[in-house]
Structure 1
Amino acid sequence: MAAIFVHVSDIHFGQERDHVVHIHDDVKKELISDAAEVIAGLGSGATKGILVTGDIAFSGKAEQYVAAGKWLDTLAEGIGCPIHRVQMIPGNHDMDRDKLSVGGSKLLDFIRAGGAAEYEKVIANYDDRATLFSRFEQYGRFCIGYNCGLDLEAKYATNLRIEVGPNRWLRFVRLNSSLLCHGEERDDQPELVMGERQFVIPRYAGEENVVLAHHPLNWYKDAEDVRQYVRSRARVFISGHEHDPKVDIDRVEKDCDVMMLAAGAAVPFRSNDTYTFTYNILEFDWDDVTDNLVVTIHPRAWNPLKTCFEADDRRLGGREPRFTLGSPNFKKVCSAPTAAAKEEHVGVSDSAAEPNVEMVPAEGVETSPGELVPMPPDAEGYELALLRFFRDLYESERLKILVELDALPAKSNERMNQGLERRLFDWLVRDGRLPDINSMIDRLIGERKERDV
């Protein structure tokens, strides 16, 4: 049974001006209805989540993420997946350019004048990194609730994998290609750098990587180095930014392929024949005969005459959207699945639960100097509570919960930040206090609503 995801990119919450807001709001509403109808008609597979390849917001402001969160909740409910099951990465519009300091501008100029060595010199310095990451403050507050927090050491991030066959997994790897953006970058004279610390992505027997990055490879100064690792370590590379849907299968060698999937924009700045409203429904499955990954793309595009989404037979494979990708890491598993294992996997996948979705340790993710994120607590309802705690509460409300539940040590002199909040939240969950957290979240949100009446 396939693992189904709705893939959206470049939604640009906050870009609407004047009368255009009505059209864009209508398109977003139609996208939800269309996705629900298409998935219901597939007949086989389970909806596992939503993939967002950047530019959730238009200018990285808090109110834009409030609107995005409400829309993502409605989309998740419409397609039948948990509202917290979203994998996201930042785009160039997810940074607040108003926060770029004079010092930050000098850092970007230094890197643009150089290359990978200059990038590493800046990123290796904690204070310089903090200057660049400060522009993603509101995005950071938003994404951490979805357990997709930014890696503050500018490394790759990965903490979710999906089982598509017996001992055959897809691991989602998130890259931040927007850290060096300033608003004037171009692809014909690349200025962005992905950086070795980020593109050296993991490789495990039995796992194939699906890499999410906002910018396609041609936007990086170190594109050839990035491409070398993508071709050898990834099975699917999904990007956004250019608003022009494309798919290409890179035949790396015998029994080894990479799908390069470039998304269109769910809500581009303007809609025409080239840059119209688009999104995708993706099915990831396992071919038990060839032991390969199968990706089926259902591209959807806006029909301006019918004012609705419909199947796009011109882009991303059109009428033949099924791709079988040579998957060498599947074949590295000690032994091929037995007939009994295949049968057992089918039975598990058909169940109503989600046994084939697994949170894994957030490798290398640093939330404050020297502090790594441990394995999330294994508690029912943890992910939903995490989302509500970080996305739906004000900072003062989160602090109130931590204080009232005695999570803050009496003599603590540590500066409060998202990393510390997350560690204290996880400590409370491990201590069996999740019901107390949920109760306080409900109470605080209720009190706020009463005050606003």
Structure 2
Amino acid sequence: MVELIEIHFSMALGDSFVENVGRGAAVLILHLSDIHFRESEIGTTQDPNVHLRNEIRRDVIAQCRKLGPPDVIIVGGDVAFAGSTKEFNFATDWLQDLCDACGGTLQSVFVCPGNHDVVRDLADRNLVQLVHDKIKSSSDPSAEIANQMRDRDARRLMYESLDNYNTFALQFFCDLLPPDRTRATRDLLLNDGSTLRLWGLNTAFISSGKDKEGDLFVDPASFQITRHDGVTNLVVAHHHLSWLREGIQFGYYLADVAPIQIFGHVHTNRIDMNVDYMRLTASAANPDRYEPGWEPGYNLLEVEVIRHDEQRKLRLRAHVRVWQEAPGGFEAKRYKGSDVWEHTIPLEPWDAPPAIAIPSPEHIVDTDRGPPPDGGSAMNSLRDLGLRFYRLSFSKKSEIAGRLELLEEEDMRQPDYERFRRVLLRANERSQLNELSAAVRAAELG
């Protein structure tokens, strides 16, 4: 099944299976987490974080003048504060401004959900809490999560509170829908022709007002990240391992399969450099300024493959930026006298074949549901159309989808974001992207 689907999408989007960034140079990752846009503050004269966000923007610009524009911008959850549509819309505009300023593109954004991206009023309902409690009280929570994911009503209860987040994440093809699409993926091309594979996990699917440390989970799909020749896995999740019930076990597993691991939530920067991995936990871009150890920050990470004495190595250079006060500004968090945290990790031998075609991630389960594997400019064009389509009103999106006959009867049972995702993918499959783009353009002008 997977192999056939990969062939289907490679024919539709071109021969390249991965985005052509980083060839001949390091891939540059801009990592932000815990932005916490609050509806009660954003766009008002009482917003206490306007200055801080502006300083982040200015510092990113200065750093990217030295390092180059980011190839991917990872936002590791807690984009919003209360999961409201207004908060996510503000985030989109802010990210667009940041991309324009630093030379990146909004198409490069890659996101995963955090606990503040959950609508608590929905997650705290009695029926939802019954599902959560059944998982938490189980002697085998992983098996119970899988069991609940197989039940249509239960999985809807677990994910309904993330609908606003998923509408936002659809712009970047990072939206999630259980049971088959509970993690987001994207492939980038490293400098030696190998693949950097991003995995965005969901640690917030049973998040609610009752969250406590050590009592959240990843679903079984997160334990199905596998190693492949010529592929380096990068895992990003919102909650630090200390917040996961199976955090120790999951940490051991990630050490085997993912040389790069990125977390957020704890609002304090931590860097763990092991022989097999770099584990990077971000400061919050917008923390609560009254919390202990208030430390706004963000990270830039350079990733490249080097060869030394016939051995391939992954070279990571982390530029950790943290806020200092009096005088205020972002400064480098130093490591043994250096502004850069540098680490090398041994890789298995691999040589690029004459014609590179690395398989896309295993999460693609059928041609109507999974996103096409990243296909260079073709995938960027599809993301660009998705971004424009996202900004239209619900009524305009629905009218276009109906007029172009891109909706099927089965779509009516799906959340809004999933229906519109299928519209985009169906337009690609039916060679209607130009027609859809023209309709979107007309709606934008109208």
Q: Same fold (TM over 0.5)?
A: yes
Structure 1 unaligned runs (5+)? 252-256, 342-355, 448-453
Aligned mates of 1:139, 1:80 — CA distance in 2: 25
5 Å-filtered alignment, 1:42-121, equals 42=67, 47-100=70-123, 101-114=125-138, 115-121=141-147
Q: Does 1:262 align with 2:285?
A: no
Aligned mates of 1:302, 1:270 — CA distance in 2: 12
SS of the residue aligned with 1:286? strand
Aligned mates of 1:376, 1:400 — CA distance in 2: 28
5 Å-filtered alignment, 1:342-357, equals none
2:344 — aligned with what? Answer: 324
5 Å-filtered alignment, 1:430-449, equals 430-447=429-446
Which deviations, in whole Å up to 9, do the C-alpha atoms of 1:7-45 show, x marking residues without a partner? 100000117659994431121122112111111123xx5
Tell me the amino acid that sits aligned with residue 294 of structure 1. R
The one of 402, 412, 415 aligned to 1:415: 412
1:198 — aligned with what? Answer: 222
What count of residue pairs does the alignment treat as equivalent? 410
1:349 — aligned with what? Answer: none
The one of 57, 65, 73 aligned to 1:40: 65
1:160 — aligned with what? Answer: 186
5 Å-filtered alignment, 1:32-431, equals 32-42=57-67, 47-100=70-123, 101-114=125-138, 115-153=141-179, 157-187=183-213, 190-251=214-275, 257-270=276-289, 274-289=293-308, 290-313=311-334, 319-328=339-348, 331=349, 333=350, 335=351, 361=360, 363-364=362-363, 372-373=369-370, 375=372, 379=378, 381-390=381-390, 392-408=391-407, 412=409, 414-415=411-412, 417=414, 418-431=417-430
Tell me the amino acid that sits aligned with residue 415 of structure 1. M
Structure 2 unaligned runs (5+)? 1-24
What is the TM-score normalised by the length of structure 2? 0.84
Q: Per chain length, whose mean CA-contact separation is higher, i.e. which structure has more relative contact order (CA < 8 Å, sep 6+)?
A: 2
Aligned mates of 2:52, 2:443 — CA distance in 1: 34
SS of the residue aligned with 1:194? coil
- Deviation, 1:53, is 0.7
Which deviations, in whole Å up to 9, do the C-alpha atoms of 1:98-150 show, x marking residues without a partner? 11331101111122222333333222322101101000010010001111111
Could you tell me whether the CA contact under 8 Å between 1:271 and 1:277 is conserved in 2? no
- Deviation, 1:279, is 0.7
Aligned mates of 2:247, 2:291 — CA distance in 1: 30
Tell me the amino acid that sits aligned with residue 74 of structure 2. L
- Deviation, 1:222, is 1.7
Aligned mates of 2:418, 2:365 — CA distance in 1: 8
Aligned mates of 1:321, 1:414 — CA distance in 2: 48
Tell which deviates more after alignment, 152-161 or 12-21: 12-21
Tell me the amino acid that sits aligned with residue 384 of structure 1. D
Cα distance change on mapping 1:202 and 1:83 into 2, 3 Å: same
Cα distance change on mapping 1:122 and 1:413 into 2, 3 Å: closer
Aligned mates of 2:70, 2:251 — CA distance in 1: 30
Tell me the amino acid that sits aligned with residue 248 of structure 1. D
Cα distance change on mapping 1:303 and 1:414 into 2, 3 Å: closer
Identity %: 25
Aligned mates of 1:362, 1:134 — CA distance in 2: 25
Aligned mates of 2:334, 2:230 — CA distance in 1: 33
Aligned mates of 2:429, 2:132 — CA distance in 1: 41
Could you tell me whether the CA contact under 8 Å between 2:149 and 2:178 is conserved in 1? no
Could you tell me whether the CA contact under 8 Å between 1:116 and 1:222 is conserved in 2? no
Cα distance change on mapping 1:73 and 1:359 into 2, 3 Å: farther
Cα distance change on mapping 1:360 and 1:61 into 2, 3 Å: farther
SS of the residue aligned with 1:180? coil
Could you tell me whether the CA contact under 8 Å between 2:304 and 2:316 is conserved in 1? yes
Which deviations, in whole Å up to 9, do the C-alpha atoms of 1:376-435 show, x marking residues without a partner? 696362211012213x122221111112223346xx465163334323322323444333
What is the TM-score normalised by the length of structure 1? 0.82
Could you tell me whether the CA contact under 8 Å between 2:186 and 2:373 is conserved in 1? no
Could you tell me whether the CA contact under 8 Å between 2:371 and 2:425 is conserved in 1? no
Aligned mates of 2:180, 2:338 — CA distance in 1: 36
